[in-house]
Structure 1
Amino acid sequence: MRGSGGSRRRPLLYLDVDGPLNPYAAKPERRPAGYATHRMKPQGWLDQHPGEPAAYVKPLRVWLNEEHGRRLLELGRRYDLVWATTWGAEANTYIGPVLGLPELPVVEWPGETARAGAAERSGTGARPGVDRDPGADGTSWPAGLFWKTPHLVEHAAGRPFAWVDDELTAVDRTFVTRRHGPHALLHRVDPRLGLREPDFTTLAEFARTGTRPGGDTGTVG
């Protein structure tokens, strides 16, 4: 995988869908303020119901906040926005249009890893650690490492980047610092709440200075 086009100095902003944009973990009867409910049947969702006719598959409930689109477009003045989600290219079909986003580049995950990670779309099931997904040289990654992390380090190819996701931990921070260097912001978003104003402030500050508010560089938010 190679990094997206654009200036080597312009940071990437990797966007997860489920958690940051779709607060799937919020209580079903308590849709977060500002969100609208959408019912979708992306192919990735249908694939999780093998043998069941598409017409009988219950649509996936997705909560989206159109204000997020405006805020992401503002950040797009400083970042190159990239989908980093198991929705894959379907994020451009189902999520982007609702938020008013243009078609964005998409990180392509290895096939087996992508299928394993698709559980995050439903908000159920454990997220697989990459210790069960060995690297290209046959070695295993550290236990507890999020399966997306090594692939995004490879995709960034040395460019500064920020990444919003609901599955980030200190293990990922350490891995990125060692493999990529300090110019990365791993910002965890609570999947019960989705992106909020402090998150956008943090992302804007990192794009401007390369540090989080408070002076930390390359941390997990």
Structure 2
Amino acid sequence: MTGSARGPLLFLDVDGPLIPFGATGQQYPIHATDPGPGAAAANPLLTRIDPEHGTRLKSLPCEIVWATTWMADANECICPRIGLPELAVVIWPGPSDLDDQDERDGLHWKTRTLVDRAAGRPFAWVDDEVTDTDRAWVAVHHPGPALLRRVDARLGLTDDDYAALDSWLRQPS
């Protein structure tokens, strides 16, 4: 259903979920894939992205949307590596448009924008920075179902994460 305007959305972050980082003393596997054009060849962390993520993501019954500070660079640098088509991209507000009170209250700076972008549609958000504060805020401010899945940045998306996403995304809304 990748690219479809029907069904739930999957807001996908890059750093953490697709590019694991932060484990002390751990050597991450290197995945030899075609680096693609431009910036993709210049970023050595891209070799940490398991190309199987593309197949697994495409099998999920949802519309995948990049929810990352990589923004449009995710289409250029990551999609070709893992076999995804170009995806929609969330455009983030500028720093002056963010609510300082949200930060003081512990709400992630992405949360409001993702709820606005979902516009009532069911959505899953995969990120390594999701907190219970975000979950509580979404439960109050989003009229549809939502799954906020925190991924361990040291591991990236795991079999358990994919199973949880697949199960949730297949539930009737």
Which band: TM-score by shorter chain? Answer: 0.7 to 0.9
CA contact (8 A) 1:183 1:210 kept: no
**More displaced 10-residue stretch of structure 1: 139-148 or 194-203:** 139-148
Matching residue of 2:168 = 206
CA contact (8 A) 2:120 2:144 kept: no
Amino acid at match of 2:139: T
The whole-number CA distance in structure 2 between the counterparts of 1:23 and 1:17 is 9
Question: Where does structure 1 lack aligned partners over 5 or more consecutive residues?
Answer: 44-57, 114-131, 212-221
TM-aligned CA distance change 1:37 to 1:172, over 3 Å: farther
TM-aligned CA distance change 1:28 to 1:98, over 3 Å: farther
The whole-number CA distance in structure 2 between the counterparts of 1:79 and 1:186 is 15
The whole-number CA distance in structure 2 between the counterparts of 1:156 and 1:103 is 19
Q: Output the TM-score relative to the length of structure 2.
A: 0.85
CA contact (8 A) 2:127 2:151 kept: yes
Do residues 24 (structure 1) and 21 (structure 2) align?
A: yes
Do residues 6 (structure 1) and 1 (structure 2) align?
A: no
Matching residue of 1:111 = 94
Tell me how far 1:25 sits from its aligned partner.
1.7
User: How many residue pairs get matched?
Assistant: 166
TM-aligned CA distance change 1:172 to 1:41, over 3 Å: farther
TM-aligned CA distance change 1:171 to 1:37, over 3 Å: farther
Question: Where does structure 2 lack aligned partners over 5 or more consecutive residues?
Answer: none
Q: Secondary structure at the match of 2:78?
A: helix
Matching residue of 2:52 = 67
Q: Which structure has the larger Rg? A: 1
Q: Secondary structure at the match of 2:125?
A: strand
TM-aligned CA distance change 1:207 to 1:30, over 3 Å: same
> Larger relative CO (CA 8 A, sep 6+): 1 or 2?
2
Tell me how far 1:111 sits from its aligned partner.
2.7
Identity percentage of aligned residues: 46
Amino acid at match of 2:52: E
Amino acid at match of 2:55: R
